[in-house]
Structures are given as C-alpha cells and as structure tokens.
Amino acid sequence: MSISEIINGKDEGFPGLVPLIRQYLDSADVDVDTRCTISQYLNFISKRATGEIWTLAHWIRQFVDKHPAYKHDSEVPDETIYDLLVKMDAISSGKQHCEKLLGCYRSKTDHLIPSAVRRAEESFVMSKQKRNA
C-alpha cells in the first residue's frame, strides 16, 4: 500500500486512517471549534499524503532545480543556497506564504462537520445560557 492509501484509504479494502478518525469524531463529544481545528489538520495530512501539498524535500528540490544559477550539474551554487535560505526564512517567519508547501488554510470553517455535531453544540450553548440566566 502507498502512504496515500494508508492515510486516505482505498476504494475496496482498507478504509484509511483519516476517514477512521473522522468517523470517530462524528460519534465523539467534540465542540465545533475543536472539530474545525482537527479537520484542518486532517485535511493537511490527507493532502500531504496524496502529494497535493509538497514535502519540504520536494519543495527544496524544485526550488534548486528552477533557480537560474543552478546548472543541473549536482553542484548547488552559493547564490542558490543563499536565496533558498532567504525564502525559507520569509516563509517560516510568516512574511511570505507558500501554498505548495503549507496549503491554503485561512478559515476554521469546515463544511464536513456533521449536522448532529452542530446541533449538539448549539444545544449545549443554549442550556449553558439558560443556567446562567
């Protein structure tokens, strides 16, 4: 099995770790905010496993390969290394975003939250407000 099949499952056979975790979360008593946060992590892991979001090694190889100073002779020039480090610093400090490496996660909203989880959260909030009134 590939890492994608282990993480995301196969059409016939193994269901996959991410779908199993989602199934567990559907039955667990998890508030909506926590569910959204966990879902963002699961989406990231799932996309990383399929290759939709690159690994750091893949991103570095692509950066070096496309750099104008690199001559495709397996020797990485100092200029390329410097530019790579500057880019990595900008990404890690939040000055720049790299969607290929980090994905696009700007919202905590997850459309996959089951309606039962939403209703349970609303019911919990309403009962808490009644007790405090």
Are 64 and 80 in contact by the 8 Å Cβ rule? The answer is yes
The CA-based diameter of the chain, rounded to the nearest angstrom, is: 73
Does any domain span residue 71? yes
Q: How many domains does the chain have?
A: 1
Are 59 and 100 in contact by the 8 Å Cβ rule? The answer is yes
Q: Give the C-alpha separation, 62 to 122, whole Å.
A: 47
| Residue 77 confidence (pLDDT) | 97
| Residue 113 confidence (pLDDT) | 65
Three-class secondary structure of residue 133 per DSSP: coil
Q: pLDDT tens, 14-36?
A: 999 999 999 999 898 888 888 88
What range defines the domain where residue 15 resides? 3-127
Does any domain span residue 133? no
Does any domain span residue 132? no
| Residue 128 confidence (pLDDT) | 81
Does any domain span residue 35? yes
Is residue 130 over pLDDT 80?
yes
Amino acid in position 75:
E
Does any domain span residue 118? yes
**pTM attached to this predicted model:** 0.69
Q: pLDDT tens, 52-111?
A: 999 999 999 999 999 999 999 999 999 999 999 999 999 999 899 999 998 886 555 555
List CB contacts of 7: < 8 A, sequence separation 6 or more. 16, 17, 18, 45, 46, 49
